[in-house]
A and B are shown apart, each in its own frame.
Chain A
Amino acid sequence: MIMFNLISPTLAFLFQEAPRSGFEQIKYSAQNPDLAKFLVIGALLFIIGVAGVLTRRNIIVIFMSIELILNAANLNFIAFSRYLSLTGDPDAVAGQIFTVFVIVVAAAEAAIGLGIVIALYRNKETIWVDEIDLLKW
């Protein structure tokens, strides 16, 4: 018991995060990517997808950008699932289940969307979204 009392503060000291400054901190966090890095990558992919949806004229590329957005959401689900499973949450695998459903919905959306593109091209002879303005007042 006495030995344990002696050892545990030493262990705690060894495993304690040493105070770091500036460059060391950045180097340390780059060498040990954690949950926040996964979330940042997911956010960047999401924003690239949003930019694609808002700026492109080709309707097929807009669909691809939507796939990027859904995939960014999947990355967040998986990262949080991993994080929670390490904290001992028994329901952590729910994140992966959600990802399966997101993939299913993305596949269905792609099939329907591309069917619409083909029907549209047959009727309007264009895939530029700014020329498809039937509902424009």
Chain B
Amino acid sequence: MTLSGYEALFFWIFALAAIFAGLLTVMARNAVHSALFLISSLVSVAALFVLARAEFIAGVQILVYVGGVMVLFLFVIMLVNVGAEERGSEEIFNNQRQVAASLIFCLLLVGGVLYSVNRGYQGLQEQHKLTPEVAAVQEAIRNQSLTASATGSSRMTTDSESLAGSLYRYASLPFEIASVLLLVAIIGSVMLARTLRQEASADDLGPEVLEEEIVRDPELAKLEPQSE
């Protein structure tokens, strides 16, 4: 797979955007800024997915992350907002020795990964020798069989079609398990985020715990009759 022309240009733009937005996510002082930089990083990666001809996954990425996960993050940031971070009175990183140790670890990881990617890719290239020019010709031939879009200037891909076919044909059991996992996650997060008051009114507290809490907060005793 080799990109060329405008695709190469857009590859570099989005790759740099993803990496810088990722760095700013980690380094921003304000957690809301972190969340917004994370969105830009994820959208840039979605654009890289489009360049790798995975249009459906790019759409899913934007819908799930920007539409769902990010809203959740922003809500939680608003709920637990402490404010000390933005005013600059609190340190945002761990103490210096821990930061130095983890940065050294990360630099070692960068070196090792870059070295092994380059060495491994050389071996892979020897296995599948294909110059960009030949690949472009092959791609053009493959595109001939796709149906033209309404404007006639481009062609419709079969990416979603092949993904859906394989997903339901070979991975239908994992698909069902994933749906159960999501259900468990929904129930679990609702259970975890309840207040003591909500737990008491649903009669979910043990009798001893309830006794103790009533001493601290007499209001809880009034909630009890509702659950009976």
Query: B-contacting residues of A (Cβ < 8 Å)?
Result: 15-17, 30-41, 43-52, 54-58, 60-61, 63-65, 67-68, 71, 74-75, 78-79, 81-83, 85-87, 93-94, 96-97, 99-101, 103-112, 114-119, 121-122, 126-128, 130
Contacts of B79 in A (CB 8 A): 118, 121
Interface of A is mostly: helix
A78 adjacent to B174 (CB under 8 Å)? no
Question: How many A-B contacts if CB must be within 8 Å?
Answer: 247
A32 adjacent to B26 (CB under 8 Å)? no
Q: What's the least CB distance linking A83 to chain B, in Å?
A: 5
Contacts of B226 in A (CB 8 A): none
Contacts of A78 in B (CB 8 A): 48-49, 52, 54, 57
A61 adjacent to B45 (CB under 8 Å)? no
B192 adjacent to A118 (CB under 8 Å)? yes
Closest A residue to B107 by beta carbon equals: A47
Known contacts A83-B1, A99-B54; decide if A67 and B65 are in contact (CB<8 Å). Answer: yes
Q: What's the least CB distance linking A11 to chain B, in Å?
A: 9
Contacts of B171 in A (CB 8 A): 97, 101
User: Roughly how many angstroms separate A101 CA and B56 CA in the complex, as a whole number?
Assistant: 14
B19 adjacent to A115 (CB under 8 Å)? no
B110 adjacent to A44 (CB under 8 Å)? yes
B42 adjacent to A64 (CB under 8 Å)? no
Contacts of A37 in B (CB 8 A): 11, 15
Closest A residue to B167 by beta carbon equals: A97
Chain B 55-99 per-residue mask, 1 if CB under 8 angstroms from chain A, else 0: 011001100110011001100110110100100001111100011
User: Roughly how many angstroms separate A68 CA and B19 CA in the complex, as a whole number?
Assistant: 10
User: Roughly how many angstroms separate A116 CA and B79 CA in the complex, as a whole number?
Assistant: 13
Contacts of B138 in A (CB 8 A): 86
A57 adjacent to B92 (CB under 8 Å)? yes
A58 adjacent to B85 (CB under 8 Å)? yes
Identify A93's interface contact among B92, B132, B139, B166, CB under 8 A: B166
Contacts of A110 in B (CB 8 A): 69, 72-73
User: Roughly how many angstroms separate A72 CA and B181 CA in the complex, as a whole number?
Assistant: 22
Residue from B110, B118, B170 with most neighbouring chain A CB atoms (10 Å):
B110
Q: CB of B202 within 8 A of chain A?
A: no
Contacts of B190 in A (CB 8 A): 115
Closest A residue to B105 by beta carbon equals: A54
User: Roughly how many angstroms separate A126 CA and B73 CA in the complex, as a whole number?
Assistant: 17
B100-128 residues with Cβ-Cβ distance < 8 A to A are 102-103, 105-106, 109-110, 113-114, 117-118, 121, 124, 128
Closest A residue to B118 by beta carbon equals: A36
| Between-chain CB contacts (< 8 Å), 15 pairs | A36-B121, A45-B19, A50-B102, A55-B26, A55-B93, A60-B34, A60-B73, A67-B65, A75-B48, A78-B48, A82-B53, A82-B54, A87-B128, A99-B54, A127-B82
B142-157 residues with Cβ-Cβ distance < 8 A to A are none
B131 adjacent to A15 (CB under 8 Å)? yes
Q: CB of B38 within 8 A of chain A?
A: yes
Contacts of B85 in A (CB 8 A): 58
User: Roughly how many angstroms separate A63 CA and B172 CA in the complex, as a whole number?
Assistant: 29
Contacts of A130 in B (CB 8 A): 94
Q: What's the least CB distance linking B72 to chain A, in Å?
A: 6
A74 adjacent to B91 (CB under 8 Å)? no
Extra A-B contacts (19), CB below 8 Å, given A96-B163, A114-B72, A122-B195: A15-B131, A32-B8, A49-B26, A51-B106, A55-B98, A56-B93, A60-B34, A67-B42, A67-B69, A74-B45, A82-B1, A85-B53, A94-B166, A96-B57, A97-B163, A114-B73, A115-B189, A115-B191, A117-B76
